[in-house]
Structure 1
Amino acid sequence: MLSILIPTYNYDCLGLVEELHRQAQTLLFPIEILVADDGSKEELKRNNRKINKLSNCMFIELKENVGRARIRNFLSEKANYDILLFIDSDAGLISNDFLQNYVSAIQNNEVICGGLLYDRPLPSPVFSLRYYYGICAEERSAKERNLCPYAQFSSFSFLIRKKTFREILFDESFSGYGHEDTAFGIELEKRGIKVKHIDNPLYHLGLEKNEDFLFKTETGIETLYRFSDKLTEYVRLLQAYNKVRKYKLQKLVAFLFRKTRGLLKRNILSLHPNMKAFAFYKLGYLCNIK
């Protein structure tokens, strides 16, 4: 009935799979867990290979990195059951009823998103930017997410019927970092497929160090710029960018960004990053691309 699909890259997800496997044993229908490794380093695959020792679990190793969109599409091809549960490998279970909560919610819905949380307290100062940004921008109750269900779609954890997923698939032209899930949410809305958000969160455990997260953010903004025509209505940063362009302030914002970039980085890479400074950094970076 249920295929749990976990793409992973350079992350040890054995503990997550073991806990999902334990919960699966309590349910009265067949479940498989498929983990696909997207070309990770050898030392980071060794422990994950133990997944193959668990019943109805498989660790699949790809020879090269194919990207976040393609690996999810690949997993859907390998799935044997009609309901797919996608989970990112850097997730941590919170509820003992996580699987049951999802399965109960799918009865009258096509797509379910469970949400995410960040464990308290901050584990280390080197993760402060990713941690505080996640709390500020990503932690949302189901009530909040259901106000804009498609814009709030996240591939971090979602349940979907296989037939529906295979009709859409993730857009593999999003080969860089970021926003393939935004494009997927747009397709769901275009096709009139209902997205239901519930309070069934996972912890997001795989925090990047501050410098690494800033680099990924810049890469994501470059992806956003390339696909801006598709994503404008769904991404706040693009909406802000379009307002700047409307009032012909793009060059001014880009100039101010270049002049203050060092000061902004000093703040946002500190123990207590200012999220407004981070927001301006992202807007300035986007304006500066042009």
Structure 2
Amino acid sequence: MIKLSVCIPVYNFDVRELVYGLKKEIESQNLSAEIILIDDFSDWKSCSLNSEIQDVASVFLSLDKNLGRSKIRNLFLNYAQGEYLLFLDCDGKLIQENFLKNYINFLSKNPLTDVLYGGRKVPAEIPDQKHLLRWKFAVERENLSVGERKSHPYLSFQTNNFVIRQNVLYKIPFNVSYSNYGYEDLLFAMDLKSENIIIHHIENPVLNNDVETNEVYLEKVKESVASVSAMLKNNAVKDRISDIKLVKAFGKLNFFPLNIFIVFFFKISKNFLEKKLLHGNKSLRYLDLYKLGLLFKLMK
């Protein structure tokens, strides 16, 4: 029987509903699975709420400093007992019946599987304007059907809901040089691709239960573009992100004097673009222009 280690990095979020839901399925289905929580130095409020489930999880570890998105995922290897590790974001909500069983059934029928991604969704209801930007991006760019994901298995991979064989993660851990928000999941996917590790896709999504405000998401966008800039400046990894839409656009336009003009244009239009994005209900083309201008500025 396949044993699954459910690994949940926790940061400033009430994860009780997710953990209770997982525990209920494990017990009702008599699954061979464990739940491991590692709290990445959350605030006192989240720690207080989540202390309720310390005895529900097989392992509950609270860190005394923040490790970041990549290091903490690698840390689960020190505690997981399962042949496969299922990584879930702490803001995920279970919406699939037999969520864990769906993964276990696929792995049982396809024993050569090394990596498996189940997908993501956001609430169907359109949120208020203050939360619209992140929701629009998820709906238009991230919430892909399983067919769309299979056509681009590496580019459509995300780390919010995926299974990986333990020995594969030992061999190809997350790159700890890039622990901030943005594109660390794609770099990991491309590291897998470089080692000929196939990413399989099925329809087994979780709901993204925490859609950020426009202001918070825009700050994360800035952080993600900074990560791309750092990767492009690193000869060891820059070729692995060459298929990113933003990187492709940068490569096509990065020649003199157009690059100088783009930096100048971004300087004078930055406030205008930010105002449009913070309004929330504008086309994502504004976001594309903003990210491209910011990348040119960081790369000059």
Q: Quickly name the TM-score band, shorter chain normalised.
A: over 0.9
Report the RMSD for the aligned CA atoms in angstroms: 1.4
TM superposition shift of 1:29: 3.4
CA contact (8 A) 1:128 1:273 kept: no
Which segments of 5 or more consecutive residues in structure 2 lack a partner in the other structure? 233-237
Please state if 1:268 is matched with 2:272: no
CA contact (8 A) 2:175 2:184 kept: yes
CA contact (8 A) 2:191 2:240 kept: no
CA contact (8 A) 2:149 2:201 kept: yes
CA distance in 1, matches of 2:118, 2:8: 15
The equivalent of 2:293 in structure 1 is 284
TM superposition shift of 1:246: 4.5
The equivalent of 2:119 in structure 1 is 115
Which residue, 204, 212, 228 being the options, matches 1:208?
212
CA distance in 2, matches of 1:215, 1:258: 17
CA contact (8 A) 1:76 1:166 kept: yes
Please state if 1:25 is matched with 2:34: no
CA contact (8 A) 1:5 1:76 kept: no
Q: 1:283 to 1:6 in 2, by over 3 A?
A: same
CA distance in 2, matches of 1:248, 1:138: 34
CA distance in 2, matches of 1:193, 1:225: 26
Please state if 1:257 is matched with 2:266: yes
- Aligned to 1:287, the other structure's residue is in SS state helix
CA distance in 2, matches of 1:271, 1:144: 26
CA contact (8 A) 1:130 1:209 kept: yes
- Aligned to 1:45, the other structure's residue is in SS state helix
Q: 1:247 to 1:100 in 2, by over 3 A?
A: farther
Instruction: List per-residue Cα deviations over 1:184-230 (Å, max 9, x = no partner).
Output: 10111111111111111111112221111111111110111110214
Which segments of 5 or more consecutive residues in structure 1 lack a partner in the other structure? none
The equivalent of 2:41 in structure 1 is 39
The equivalent of 1:138 in structure 2 is 142
| % identical aligned pairs | 30
Q: 1:247 to 1:231 in 2, by over 3 A?
A: farther
CA contact (8 A) 1:48 1:59 kept: no
How many equivalent residue pairs?
289
| TM-score, normalised via structure 1 length | 0.95
Matched residue type, 2:31: F
CA contact (8 A) 2:7 2:37 kept: yes
TM superposition shift of 1:247: 7.0
Matched residue type, 1:86: F
1:85-234 residue pairs with structure 2 within 5 A?
Answer: 85-107=86-108, 108=110, 109-228=113-232, 229-234=238-243
The equivalent of 1:51 in structure 2 is 53
Regions of 4+ moved over 4 Å:
none
Please state if 1:11 is matched with 2:20: no
Matched residue type, 1:180: E
- Aligned to 1:234, the other structure's residue is in SS state coil
Instruction: List per-residue Cα deviations over 1:36-93 (Å, max 9, x = no partner).
Output: 1001111111111111232x53321000001100101111221011111000001011
Instruction: List per-residue Cα deviations over 1:129-178 (Å, max 9, x = no partner).
Output: 11111111101011111111112221111011111111111111113322
Please state if 1:76 is matched with 2:85: no
- Aligned to 2:242, the other structure's residue is in SS state helix
